[in-house]
Amino acid sequence: MRCKRPATVPELASGPGYPAGAMSHEELARLRERTAVRNPRDRWLQELLAPFEHQAFAREWVREDPLVAVPSLGVAIPAYQLAKLFGLGGKEATPASLDQMFGGYRGLVQGLRR
């Protein structure tokens, strides 16, 4: 059985329809884990992947349980970014960003479209 080739940064950032936008939450979490680094100068890769991970999480939850996920995410997406802004996101969390928030909402819409 062949393993999938991991996505590269240019592939992730190449525009609409790019592979990261279609990856599962699990795939993105594994990719972020593999690219986790302790050097703060290299956190840019984590920050690049985070919006896609938020998008995938929302998309998958909405597809699984739309009646619970849609109203919950409508509140949770901005609340989580606000919590991160005040340092409540956890030690490993990326900084709050509008890209992550919009990624979550993009995933919500994708989940509704199926």
Per-residue pLDDT reduced to its tens digit, 17-37: 557 778 888 988 888 777 776
Contact present, 27 and 77 (Cβ < 8 Å)? no
Q: Which residues contact 32 (CB under 8 A, 6 or more apart)?
A: 46, 49, 50, 53
For residue 14, the model assigns a pLDDT of: 47
How far apart CA 76 and CA 52 sit, in angstroms, is 16
For residue 64, the model assigns a pLDDT of: 96
For residue 32, the model assigns a pLDDT of: 79
Helix axes 66-85, 98-113, angle to 10 degrees: 180
Chunked mean pLDDT (size 10), the chain, 114 residues? 47 56 86 71 81 94 96 96 90 88 95 90
